[in-house]
Amino acid sequence: MATNRTFTMVKPDAVEAGNAGAILKMIEEAGFRIVALKKTLLTQERAGQFYAVHAERPFYASLCAYMSSGPIYAAILEKENAVADFRTLIGATNPAQAAEGTIRKLFATSLEANAVHGSDSDENAAIEGGFFFSLTEQF
């Protein structure tokens, strides 16, 4: 299978808890190459733009407040079958349902504060990576 890319964020709860380094280590040990990486802070407005697909969902306002509540790490990752393999590595959205050994099982604290984001398609991975990184930052 061809090498391709996904996009991730280490979310505010995991950064605040001091788990960003451990999470990035798990990601690298699972075979993902870090193409781009930055620590940044989303405003509520930019969090809203990032999660615009969820604008009609009941949890949208809370999600935007949470995602702008503290710094995050944003990263573009590369691996064969990156999108699907990364979602396997992070586990189910709700940590109570996440498989043993997954990042969310190990580090998430609630359905909302679930430690990491992972793109859900190749198309969204490219859009989300472009939300944080210029082409000259992706190598």
Catalytic residue among 6, 90, 102, 117: 117
HSE of 132, CA atoms in CB hemisphere, 13 A: 26
Query: Which residue shows structure tokens 């490219």?
Result: 126
Q: What residues from 30 to 59 belong to the interface with ligand RTP (CB under 6 A)? A: 59
- Report the residue number whose CB is nearest to ligand RTP: 93
Is 59 annotated to bind a ligand? Reply is: yes
Q: What's the distance, CA 112 to chain centroid? A: 13
Q: Does 12 bind ligand RTP (CB under 6 A)?
A: no
Judged by CB under 6 A, the number of residues near ligand RTP is 9
84 touching ligand RTP, by CB under 6 A = no
Among residues 77 and 139, whose Cβ is nearest to ligand RTP? Answer: 77
Which CB, 50 or 133, lies closer to ligand RTP?
50
Among 93, 105, 106, 138, binds ligand RTP (CB under 6 A): 93
Q: Is 111 in the site for ligand RTP (CB under 6 A)?
A: yes
Give CA separation, 92 vs 59, 103, 116, in Å: 17, 10, 11
Please return the burial class of 102, using the count of CB atoms within 10 Å of its CB with bins 0-12, 13-18 and 19+.
buried
Question: Which residues are part of a known binding site for ATP?
Answer: 11, 59, 87, 93, 104, 114
